[in-house]
Structure formats: structure tokens, C-alpha cells
């Protein structure tokens, strides 16, 4: 059921948050709690067999901080459903992040109790950022950390991301391809990730394509030759993408 005609996930819209963040902002403003505060994102403990993580997601997090705001119709919805004061609704309508951010560079290994991201701003302003920043950093850091271990286990053999179809939504699929590339994957099968992030794209063929080739046995000779040529072309594309020369041309994103 889609009551509102807009997109399911507008990543720069501040309404993409937990309601209690807005409720806390309302309470802060009501009690004059506008002092400077610092929020840090870190991991308390790691499993014994996972003694490091790989930072990822900073670029998208900074982009969110620069553009995050409430749309007028979202403010109207909050006014009707969130029991906010008029002062808070006006504050949210004018909201623009003006604080400071300190963070680990993407691709950096970090450990338990080591902050990956610190946001310093007025208390209401920093509080409003919490949910979406955790959402963005957590997903990509989890994917990059797992991908880094796979790269180490592969011992120099190229690895490729092919996870869009099983990702938890379109945004997760794109960001997972990016995070895996940061951690050392050689490319992705997700075409949009290749366009957006400059990641080398690769692909072979689906089972349906292979199964369909059995039909060519009953086709004229010229159609059989065409089908075999297509198979060779697909295989050649994969070999070229996975070659050392192609890997050497990876963009700066991999070393970030």
C-alpha cells in the first residue's frame, strides 16, 4: 500500500528517521537545550574471529549532511501526526546542518571503541542526524569488512560483486557494490553502480541463456554460428575485465 505518491526512499529527506529523534528535538527546544554536543559512532566489541572492521560510507554520509532537509508536505504531515510544537515545526522547516564532522577515511581498518565518525553541532542538530548516519555507515562498513576478508582469502585472485538481486533494496545493492570495491573487489555486475561510482562492470550469462543454446541444434547453420559467436563474445568480455591490466586501471575509489 503506497499512500504517498513519492519515492519509497528519498535518502536526503530528514523524515527518513526514527520518530523519537524528532520528539527529542522538540524536548530540547522546549527546555532550551541548545548547547554544543558531539555524537560518536563506534563498535563496542568484536567477535574473537573478527578483530578489525573496514570503514566505508563516509562519502554518502557527508552528502546527506550537506543536503538533508524536510520537504513542506513532510512538515505538514509531522504537524498533524507527531504532536510537535509550532516552534519545533518552524525549526525543522529551516533545518540545515552547520556542524563539524571528523571521520576515518574510507578503506581504513579500525577496531573496537575507535570512533569511525564524530558529529559536533548543537544538541538538536546533532540528534537529528543520528538515525540516517548510522544507517549509511553501518551497511557499507559491514559489507566492506566482509569483502576485505574475502579478498585476503582469495590471495590475489580477482573477486566481483554480484549481489544486487539479493540485496535488501536498490539503495543497499548500489552501496554494497561500492563498499566491496573499496575493500578490494575488482568489479561489479551492477550496471548502475558502474555508472555512478566508476566501478569496472563484468558479467557472464544467466542459466536461461545457456539453456536456450540447446535450441540452436535444430536451427540452420548460420544461426548456430551466430549463437556460438555470442558465447565467445561474452566469455571474452569477462576475461578482459578480469585481466591484470583491467585491475590496474581501477579508480582511486579502491584505495580510499
252 has pLDDT over 50: no
Chain position carrying cell 580510499: 256
Domain limit, last residue, from 153, 180, 200: 153
Residue 99 Cα distances to 62, 126, 216, angstroms: 11, 8, 64
Same structural domain, 47 and 138: yes
Same structural domain, 39 and 147: yes
User: What confidence score (pLDDT) does residue 151 get?
Assistant: 96
Same structural domain, 149 and 165: no
User: What confidence score (pLDDT) does residue 205 get?
Assistant: 81
Window from 1-10, 123-132, 223-232 with minimum mean pLDDT: 1-10
Q: What is the pLDDT of residues 143-159, one digit of tens each?
A: 999 999 999 999 999 99
* Number of domains making up the chain: 2
- Nearest Cα to 136, choosing from 254, 8, 16? 16
Same structural domain, 112 and 184: no
Radius of gyration of the chain measured on its C-alpha atoms: 23
> Which pairs from 145-153 meet CB under 8 Å and 24+ separation?
145/50, 145/52, 145/53, 145/54, 145/183, 147/54, 147/179, 147/180, 147/182, 147/183, 147/184, 147/185, 148/54, 148/109, 148/183, 148/184, 150/185, 151/183, 151/184, 151/185
Domain limit, last residue, from 153, 180, 208: 153
Same structural domain, 122 and 179: no
Enclosing domain of residue 38: 21-26+34-153
Same structural domain, 49 and 145: yes
User: What confidence score (pLDDT) does residue 226 get?
Assistant: 66
Beta-ladder partners of 53: 110
Question: Please, are residues 58 and 137 in contact by the beta-carbon 8 Å criterion?
Answer: yes
Segment 55-72 shows an average pLDDT of 94
Q: What is the CATH number of the domain that holds 88?
A: 3.20.140.10
Query: What 3-state DSSP class applies to 103?
Result: strand
Question: Please, are residues 81 and 18 in contact by the beta-carbon 8 Å criterion?
Answer: no
Q: What is the pLDDT of residues 86-136, one digit of tens each?
A: 999 999 999 999 999 999 999 999 999 999 999 999 999 999 999 999 999
pTM beyond 0.85: no
Segment 51-67 shows an average pLDDT of 94
Q: Is residue 140 part of a domain?
A: yes
- Nearest Cα to 61, choosing from 21, 18, 103? 103
User: What confidence score (pLDDT) does residue 117 get?
Assistant: 97
- pLDDT, greater one: 230 or 234: 230
Q: How far is the C-alpha of 157 from the C-alpha of 155, rounded, in Å?
A: 6
Over the chain, what is the mean pLDDT? 85
- Nearest Cα to 214, choosing from 230, 229, 233, 227? 227
Domain limit, last residue, from 153, 183, 213: 153
pLDDT over 70 percentage in the chain: 79
Question: Please, are residues 42 and 134 in contact by the beta-carbon 8 Å criterion?
Answer: no
Segment 161-172 shows an average pLDDT of 92
User: What confidence score (pLDDT) does residue 245 get?
Assistant: 41
Segment 66-91 shows an average pLDDT of 93
Q: What is the pLDDT of residues 191-223, one digit of tens each?
A: 999 999 999 999 888 878 777 766 655 555 665
CA angle 95, 98, 103 (to 5 degrees): 125
Q: Is residue 108 part of a domain?
A: yes
Amino acid at each position: 500500500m503506497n499512500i504517498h505518491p513519492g519515492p519509497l526512499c528519498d535518502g536526503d529527506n530528514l523524515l527518513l528517521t526514527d520518530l523519537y529523534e524528532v520528539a527529542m528535538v522538540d524536548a530540547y527546544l522546549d527546555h532550551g537545550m541548545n548547547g554544543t554536543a558531539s555524537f560518536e559512532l563506534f563498535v563496542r566489541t568484536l567477535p574473537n574471529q573478527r578483530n578489525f572492521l573496514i570503514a566505508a560510507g563516509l562519502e554518502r554520509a557527508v552528502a546527506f549532511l550537506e543536503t538533508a532537509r524536510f520537504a513542506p508536505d513532510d512538515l505538514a504531515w509531522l504537524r498533524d501526526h507527531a504532536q510537535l510544537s509550532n516552534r519545533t515545526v518552524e525549526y525543522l522547516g529551516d533545518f540545515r546542518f552547520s556542524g563539524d564532522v571528523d571521520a576515518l577515511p574510507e578503506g581504513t581498518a579500525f577496531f573496537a571503541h575507535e570512533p569511525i565518525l564524530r558529529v559536533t553541532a548543537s544538541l538538536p542538530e546533532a540528534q537529528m542526524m543520528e538515525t540516517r548516519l548510522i544507517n549509511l555507515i553501518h551497511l557499507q562498513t559491514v559489507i566492506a569488512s566482509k569483502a576485505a576478508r574475502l579478498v585476503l582469502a582469495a590471495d590475489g585472485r580477482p573477486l566481483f560483486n554480484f549481489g544486487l538481486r539479493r540485496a535488501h533494496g536498490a539503495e543497499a545493492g548500489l552501496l554494497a557494490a561500492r563498499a566491496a570495491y573499496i575493500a578490494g573487489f575488482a568489479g561489479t555486475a551492477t550496471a548502475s553502480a558502474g555508472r555512478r561510482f566508476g566501478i569496472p562492470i563484468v558479467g557472464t550469462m544467466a542459466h536461461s541463456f545457456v539453456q536456450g543454446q540447446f535450441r540452436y541444434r535444430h536451427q540452420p547453420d548460420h544461426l548456430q554460428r551466430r549463437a556460438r559467436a555470442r558465447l565467445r563474445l561474452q566469455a571474452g568480455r569477462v576475461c578482459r575485465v578480469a585481466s591484470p591490466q583491467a585491475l590496474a586501471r581501477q579508480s582511486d575509489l579502491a584505495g580510499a
